[in-house]
């Protein structure tokens, strides 16, 4: 074994006469364990909440809408997509004013062709419910309750973005639609209506072989920022889910960063105790250090002894804290049930690269904190330390 590592291990395992210094060392090790454990649990819970919100809020939205800046997209036009785009479907969409006999509301009309064009329509037979040129529409149950309508009723849709001139002036394009079916919406996008793609195109004066663009569904919604690398922004216009939900996820990300920063202070305070414990040990062991120097130990080797000793505390604390943090995260719901049996389940997601980063950074910080005490130990002069021995 390396001589300096051997001496450092002996110092670490010995029952020091300085009980206060020993207590500070134990507190530093315990603080690192507690801080690393808490940081892993907090970040895993925040990761789980972020993933849950991503599934719940973004599962029913097109992750991006791709359209030409000039002209319309033809249905047979070939578009090269990156590998992370799971699905693309043609789309015609517009904002509408919805009028029934009893109420009025605003919403968005989207044209579809198949049941898999939108996650909210997978259980419906779109070809049967939305045949071409019949001007049928499907809406959510919550919107139907607001408008006080049901299946089979007629509603008037007015397109404010498109208008025509009449003897009475310029009026928006409008059309009566028949409600053919209703769907459940678990998100706040309940004001979305679905009609046949060609019917929506006719209202927008779009040729049957053309569409406004393509709805893109990605394997990971957070990859939308990479779309600009594949599509020329001078030719294509890209709108994505961040326009509707971006502020919410920015708030979640900021909260995650702040929680991580606050819990990291526990680790920083614990690691700073290494400086105190090593400084006390330098004072306690200066006679032994002086004797070792007279026997041939160099100043660099003296520094290594105390650096090894502080690193041992940091490595053991970081590894134990990482293991306990992962274990506590896996059984977090059971632990919460023991404390408060209210049936609360916290979603968790352990990110292994994140855990490794926490452990490695904790070890590096503990190593950094050993430099000053180790430098003070290397400055010990044998003649001065052994003068009164």
Q: CA nearest 140: which of 189, 102, 80?
A: 189
Mean pLDDT for the stretch of residues 1-22: 68
Name the domain count of the chain: 2
pLDDT digits (tens, 9 = 90+) for 102-144: 888 888 888 888 888 887 888 888 888 888 888 899 988 888 8
Q: Which residue has the higher pLDDT, 321 or 17?
A: 321
Q: Which domain holds residue 225?
A: 80-241
- Split at pLDDT 50, 70, 90, the class of 187 is low
Question: pLDDT at position 100, please?
Answer: 86
User: Distance between CA 258 and CA 361 in Å, rounded?
Assistant: 18
Co-location of 215 and 322 in the same domain = no
Please check whether residues 161 and 38 belong to one and the same domain: no
Of 182, 209, 241, which residue sits at a domain end? Answer: 241
Question: Does residue 113 form part of some domain?
Answer: yes
> Are 257 and 219 members of one domain?
no
Do 229 and 113 fall within a single domain?
Answer: yes
Q: Quick one: which of 96, 87, 142, 151 has its CA closest to 119? A: 87
Residues 257 and 346 in one domain: yes
Both 237 and 253 in a single domain?
A: no
| Beta-bridge mates of residue 183 | 140
Q: Which of 207, 223, 241 is the last residue in one of the domains?
A: 241
Asked if residue 8 has pLDDT above 80, the reply is no
Do 235 and 256 belong together in one domain?
no
Q: Which two tokens stand for residue 360?
A: 């490695």
Above pLDDT 90, what percent of the chain?
A: 2
Phi, psi of 115 (to 5 degrees): -65, -30
In a domain, 50, yes or no: yes
Q: What's the rounded mean pLDDT across residues 25-31?
A: 81
Task: State whether 150 and 273 are in the same domain.
Answer: no
Same domain assignment for residues 201 and 272: no
Q: Is residue 70 part of a domain?
A: no
- Could you tell me if residue 65 is inside a domain? no
Instruction: Mark whether 228 and 93 lie in a shared domain.
Output: yes
SS3 sequence of the chain:
CCHHHHHHHHHHHCCCCCHHHHHHHHHHHHHHHHHHHHHHHHHHHHHHHHHHHHHHHHCCCCCEEEEECCCCEECCCCCCCCCCEEEEEEECEEEEEEECCCCEEEEEEEEECCHHHCHHHCCCCHHHHCCCCCCEEEEEHHHHHHHCCCCCCEEEEEEEEEEEEECCEEEEEEEEEEEEEEECCCCCCCCEEEEEHHHHHHHCCCCCCEECEEEEEECCHHHHHHHHHCCCCCCEEEEECHHHHHHHHHHHHHHHHHHHHHHHHHHHHHHHHHHHHHHHHHHHCHHHHHHHHHCCCCHHHHHHHHHHHHHHHHHHHHHHHHHHHHHHHHCHHHHHHHHCCCCCCCCCCCCHHHHHHHHHHHHHHHHHHCHHHHHHHHCCCHHHHCCCC
* pLDDT of 297 higher than 60: yes
Taking the C-alpha atoms of residue 367 and residue 309, their distance in angstroms, rounded to an integer, is 9
Residue 376 within a domain: yes
Q: Is residue 75 part of a domain?
A: no
What is the rounded average pLDDT of the residues 379-389?
A: 67
Which residue's entry shows tokens 């049936």? 343
Q: Is residue 356 part of a domain?
A: yes
Decide if 228 is inside a domain. yes
Spell 361-384 as b/e; 16+ CB within 10 A means b. ebbebbbebbeebbebbbebebee
Q: Give the whole-angstrom CA distance, residue 13 versus residue 161.
A: 78
Q: What pLDDT score was predicted for residue 203? A: 85
Residues 161 and 303 placed together within one structural domain of the fold: no
Tell me the pTM. Answer: 0.70
Where is the domain boundary, 225, 241, 257? 241
> Are 26 and 119 found together in one domain?
no
Of the listed ranges 39-48, 283-292, 354-363, the least confidently predicted one is: 283-292
Q: Is the pLDDT score of 202 beyond 70?
A: yes
Question: For 232-266, how does the pLDDT look when each residue is reduced to its tens digit (9 = 90+)?
Answer: 778 888 888 777 777 777 787 888 888 888 888 88
pLDDT tens digit sequence for 67-83: 888 778 787 777 778 88
């Amino acid at each position: 074994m390396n001589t300096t590592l051997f001496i450092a291990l002996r110092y670490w395992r010995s029952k020091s006469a300085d009980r206060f210094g020993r207590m500070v060392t134990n507190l530093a090790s315990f603080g690192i364990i507690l801080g690393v454990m808490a940081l892993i649990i907090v970040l895993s819970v925040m990761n789980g909440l972020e993933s849950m919100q991503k599934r719940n809020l973004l599962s029913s939205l097109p992750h991006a809408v791709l359209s030409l800046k000039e002209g319309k997209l033809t249905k047979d036009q070939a578009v090269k997509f990156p590998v992370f785009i799971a699905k693309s479907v043609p789309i015609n969409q517009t904002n509408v004013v919805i009028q029934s006999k009893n109420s009025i509301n605003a919403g968005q009309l989207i044209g579809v062709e198949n049941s898999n064009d939108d996650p909210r329509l997978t259980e419906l037979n779109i070809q049967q419910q939305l045949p071409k040129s019949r001007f049928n529409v499907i809406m959510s149950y919550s919107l139907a309750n607001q408008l006080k309508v049901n299946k089979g009723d007629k509603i008037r849709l007015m397109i404010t973005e498109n208008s025509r001139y009449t003897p009475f002036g310029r009026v928006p394009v409008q059309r009566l639609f028949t409600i053919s079916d209703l769907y459940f919406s678990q998100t706040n996008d309940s004001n979305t209506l679905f009609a046949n793609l060609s019917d929506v195109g006719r209202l927008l004066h779009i040729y049957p072989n053309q569409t406004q663009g393509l709805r893109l569904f990605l394997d990971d919604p957070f990859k939308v920022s990479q779309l600009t690398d594949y599509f020329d922004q001078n030719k294509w216009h890209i709108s994505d889910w961040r326009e509707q939900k971006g502020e919410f996820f920015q708030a979640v990300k900021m909260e995650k960063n702040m929680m991580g920063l606050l819990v990291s202070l526990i680790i920083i305070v614990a690691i700073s105790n290494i400086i105190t414990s090593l400084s006390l040990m330098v004072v306690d062991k200066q006679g032994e250090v002086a004797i070792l120097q007279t026997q041939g130990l160099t100043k660099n080797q003296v520094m290594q002894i105390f650096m090894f000793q502080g690193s041992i505390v940091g490595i053991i604390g970081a590894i134990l804290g990482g293991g306990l943090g992962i274990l506590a995260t896996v059984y977090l719901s059971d632990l919460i049930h023991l404390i408060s049996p209210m049936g609360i389940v916290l979603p968790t997601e352990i990110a292994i690269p994140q855990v490794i980063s926490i452990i490695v950074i904790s070890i590096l910080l503990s190593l950094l904190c050993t430099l000053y005490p180790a430098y003070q130990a290397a400055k010990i002069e044998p003649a001065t330390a052994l003068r009164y021995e």
